[in-house]
Amino acid sequence: MNKRLMTTLGAALALLMGVGAAQAATFTVTTTADSGAGSLRDAITQANATPGADTIVFDAVIGSGTIVLGSTLPFITEALTIDGAGRSITISGNNAVQVMDNQSTLTLNALTIANGGCPLFGCSIGGAGVYSPGGTLTVTNSTFSGNAAGRENGGAIYGGGTLTISNSTFSGNAAGLAGAVFWQGSNSRLTVTNSTFFNNSASVGGGAGGALFVLHALATVTHSTFSGNTAGLGGGAIFVGDGGTITLANSIVAGGGAGGNCFNPSGTLADLGGNLSDDATCGFTQATSLSNTDPQLGPLQDNGGPTQTTAPMTGSPAIDQGVNALAVDANNQPLSTDQRGTGFARISGSTVDRGAFEVQVPAASPLTVTPSSVSFGTVHRFSLRSRLLTLMNNGSTAVTLSPVSVTPAPGTTAGEFSALSLCPRTLAAGKSCTVKVVLFAFELGARSAKLTIPSSASASPLTVPLGVTVTRLLGN
């Protein structure tokens, strides 16, 4: 075999095995400085020069911090994920510059995009936070706050193409149209799940769509909460026009101001069910949706999880009034959590809540005691009695038991009631044991106490009321 043939075969084999294919790279930001080695700006520049879907992460040395920009970050020209998980990173436009321009595929996770600014038409069309005119943008576990596009559109985000928002909060963003998100294009898609839009405004020149403004595009909004968003012209929360469609499911729309919550002069706002509005402007038609009903929401605050949320107050018609079948994500898969993420079930109890926040029903303790109260009835003075209680671990994991104790009620003497645990230190799943309660009746009248059984189980400790009435024995 000659040398030329061997070279040709080697090149072909290399292509078949993928040698030379683009490899994803990870770049680490080590400083909150706006520029220079280790900066976010430098990492984006390197990622743009590296073929493949790259990732930018933030070193632990940063901890939490704010990156204040002097100019817009480099255009995103290659597929990129910027991941702030485990940190508390804010990228600020300092009320003077647009934060990002996405020309490719961009994923933002666990970040705060704040104070993007477009003074004197500095954003061209809009998007003080992120301008994404035709690519793919994904936002998860993130916050867009205080971004302002001036007289332009989309205070937080402006663009077209594909936009997916989940488990995120948009608050205090402002623009001429679409205080938070402006999305357009006949082939564009917008999906919003488990997210909160709070106090965004579109007020310049009349303004419309305080939170969302959709033109031509198809949008789906599921389990999201719109509260306190306003617009000068109409659609304090939602505007849809020019043949666009927004489909709402299990969502709350409230506090839209004088212009109302929804405005769809030339578009379609479809009600799938489980929705709630405090006015009639959204035109809900499903029996499971409510109009002209106050959702009774609390303030935007830290309720757990990486982003702030608004929780329904006690008695809110949002609680346990959604439609379970509609609690699905962008891929039509069941949602496992509410906006807050791990530790906060999407369906807590038998029926899902409306909106981004799920009120959590306390889990029943896997540890039970039978009987749940003990009465020795009426006994004579100096009687000695006992009762056996059964402690059962109904859970799937072992429970650690602590020593039991008896607390006498006021007027009951210590020692009249006592208890002895016959249980092991660790009670295995599916196993039971015995606690013995002893009465020595040496004082007259109604006597009572409380048995306390502490453990590692939820809803610990278990308590058991104890009682007896002691009468005089003839001659005593």
Burial of 445 (0-12, 13-18, 19+ CB in 10 A): exposed
Say if residue 14's pLDDT is above 80: no
pTM for the complete prediction?
Answer: 0.79
Is residue 42 within 8 Å of residue 35, measured between CB atoms?
Answer: yes
Amino acid 475: pLDDT: 54
Amino acid 206: pLDDT: 73
Say if residue 79's pLDDT is above 80: yes
Amino acid 104: pLDDT: 98
Query: Torsions phi, psi of 342, nearest 5?
Result: -50, 130
- Which candidate, 253, 245, 328, places its Cα nearest to that of 284? 253
d(CA 370, CA 384): 21
Say if residue 12's pLDDT is above 70: no
Q: What is the DSSP letter of 45?
A: H
Say if residue 23's pLDDT is above 70: yes
pLDDT digits (tens, 9 = 90+) for 155-199: 999 999 999 999 999 999 999 999 999 999 999 999 999 999 999
pLDDT digits (tens, 9 = 90+) for 382-414: 899 999 999 999 988 899 999 999 999 888 888
Res. 38 pLDDT band, cuts 50 70 90:
very high
Residue 412 in 3-state DSSP? coil
d(CA 47, CA 25): 8
User: 277 Cβ partners below 8 Å, 6+ apart?
Assistant: 252, 253, 254, 261, 262, 284, 289, 290, 291, 292, 293
pLDDT digits (tens, 9 = 90+) for 233-258: 899 999 999 999 999 999 999 999 98
Q: List the domain boundaries for the chain.
A: 93-326, 367-471
Amino acid 278: pLDDT: 98
What amino acid occupies position 132?
S
Structure-model confidence comparison of residues 273 and 381, the more confident one? 273
- Nearest 10 degrees: CA dihedral of 233, 236, 242, 248? -160
Amino acid 345: pLDDT: 97
Q: What average pLDDT does this structure show over 327-337?
A: 96
- Which candidate, 46, 50, 13, 14, places its Cα nearest to that of 30? 46
Amino acid 122: pLDDT: 60
Fold held by 367-471: Immunoglobulin-like (2.60.40)
Q: What average pLDDT does this structure show over 326-341?
A: 97
Tell me how far the alpha carbon of residue 389 is from its chain's centroid. 42
Share of the chain above pLDDT 90, in %: 82
Q: How big is the chain by its Cα radius of gyration, in Å?
A: 31
Query: Torsions phi, psi of 206, nearest 5?
Result: 100, -55
Say if residue 2's pLDDT is above 70: no
Tell me how far the alpha carbon of residue 403 is from its chain's centroid. 38
The least confident of 5-14, 309-318, 333-342, 420-429 is 5-14
Which residues sit opposite 91 in a β-bridge?
67, 113
Say if residue 17's pLDDT is above 60: no
The least confident of 118-122, 129-133, 138-142, 259-263 is 118-122
Q: What is the DSSP letter of 48?
A: H
Res. 476 pLDDT band, cuts 50 70 90:
low
Say if residue 118's pLDDT is above 90: no
d(CA 296, CA 407): 41
Res. 22 pLDDT band, cuts 50 70 90:
low
What amino acid occupies position 318?
A
Say if residue 21's pLDDT is above 90: no
